[in-house]
Structure 1
């Protein structure tokens, strides 16, 4: 199915494992996974950004063994 984009598209950064898709796609599967723990407002990105965080507590306790399995996607 064709894709019609109305307006501007701004791509600021794509790393080696990133994927940008504009158009038809059947399946996009990740080739790698990662986990990041950050506090409130820690990973905000954008133009003219302002964050006001009075108190931030990050709980990084993770009792499970595996979060995302992508071994078959390589």
Structure 2
């Protein structure tokens, strides 16, 4: 579906492929998982994070999160 972007685009870093335009399907070539505590994954220009207590649950009982074997 065509779209119009009315605000500026800011790309800070690229570590793969960036696609602009119409596509039928976009599939990831690789996946990863990361754990971050309270306020640890925030990004921005003027950021203030106040966290008194932070606890991150890293229990992951499933075997596969995203299958990328067929995305060549």
Match of 1:26 among 14, 24, 27: 24
| Aligned residues between the structures | 72
Deviation (angstroms), 1:64:
1.2
Give the aligned partner of residue 11 of structure 2.
11
User: CA-atom RMSD, angstroms?
Assistant: 1.4
More helix by share: 1
- Higher RCO (CA-CA < 8 Å; seq separation 6+): 2
Q: Secondary structure at the match of 1:66?
A: coil
Runs of 4+ in 1 over 2 A off after TM superposition: 19-23
Deviation (angstroms), 1:34:
0.3
Q: TM-score, normalised by structure 2?
A: 0.86
1:1-27 per-residue CA deviation (whole Å, 9 max, x = no partner) reads 543221211111111x3x433321111
